[in-house]
Structure 1
C-alpha cells in the first residue's frame, strides 16, 4: 500500500469514527466541556487565583493537561475496549490493511477532540481571569502561550499509549474502572489538583517520577519562563517509551489470542 493510499485509509477511518462520535452529541459535549466546567467550579470561585495573572495561567495549564489526560484515557481507552467486542471492528482487523490505519485514525480523532476541549477553557480563562495581563503588560512573551499549548498536546502521547494498553488488556467494563483508577490518582499525584509546592518531601519525590508531573512542569515552566526540574524531560520520554512498548505488546497479544 503506497503512502498516499495509507493516508487516505487513515482519513477514511477518522471520518467514520468522527461521524460515529457526532451521533452521540451529549457525550461529545460532555467530553469537550469537562475541563471548562471543572475550571468554572473549582477555579473561578477562588478570587485569589482569578485576580493573579500567574496563578490563573498555572491553573489553566494544569486543567488543560487534565483535560488531555482524561479525554485520551477515557475517550480512547474505553471506546477502543468497546470496539474490541464489536463484530464490525473485529472484521476490520482481519483485513490486509491491519490495525494501523484504525489506530492512527483514532489518534487523529482523539487529538481533534482534545484540542476542541481546550478552546472553551482558554476562552473562559481569557475572559474571566487576569491571565491575559501577564502578556499585555509585557511580563511574558506571547510565543510562550502556543509553546505551552503544544507541550500539553504532545504530552498526550504517553496517555494515548496508556489508553491503548488498557483497551487491549481488559474488557469494556473493566476498562472503565481501570481508567478511573488510573486517571484521578495520576492527576492528584502529578500536581494538577493541588500545587506541587505544598507536597511533603516524599510525595514530591514520587510526583516528580510521574509523567503527569513531568508534563505539568514542562508546560508551566515554558509558559512562565520558570525553572524546570532537570528530571522532567527524561521522565516524560522514559514513560512515553515504556508505555508505547506496553501498548504494542498489548495489541500484538490481543491479535495473537483472537486471530490465530
Structure 2
C-alpha cells in the first residue's frame, strides 16, 4: 500500500511550512501555495522523505499545487489534483487566515463590513469547503483520516488583530467541533489555536505589541513555530482525538 498522504494548505511559508516539515517523516506531502512557487519548492526541498511502503516508489513523494483557498472552485480542483497525482489522502491541515490589523479596543475601526465578510469567508467558510471536498477521500481509507483546522488564540480569548478576526477564529473552532460531530467514526476533526508566533505575519506587529504579548505569558516568550508544528503532528497522528481544540500560547489563556 502506498505511504499515506498529507495535504497542508497555505504551506509555502510560516506555520504551514513548519507543519510540512514535521509531517514529512511520516507522510507523502502536498504543499499548497497561492502566489510564490519558489517558496513552495524550497519547502519541499527541506522535507525529510517519507519511508517507502509497497508501491510507494512509483508514486510521488511530494507534490506542489497552486490554489486560492478563498475560492471554492479552486479548492475542488486542488483536491481533484491531489487524488489524481497522489492516489489517496489521509491527513488535511487547513491552514488559512486573513486579517486587517486595526486597534482592537476601538469599535469604530472594527465596523468595516468588508473586513467582517472577508474574515468569515476565509477564516471560516474555506475550512468548511475544504472539509466537504476532502471528506469522501478521508472516509475511503480503511482507518479513516484526520482533518485539522488551524485557528488562533484570538478565537479562544478576545484578542488579536481585530474583532472580526477574533470572532471568525472562534467560529472556526466551533465549526471544527460541528464537523467532528457529523463525521465519525471514520474522520477525526480537531482545531489548533496558537498564540503569537514570529512568522512573517507576526512580524507585522510593532515591537511594543510583541513585548506586551510576551509579558502576558507565563513562560515570558512568544510561541515557538516548531512547537506548534510538532503539536499539529501529534494531533493528526492520534486516533483517539476528535472534536477538540488545542491552545498553545505560552500560558496567556489560563
TM range (shorter): 0.3 to 0.5
Greater gyration radius: 1
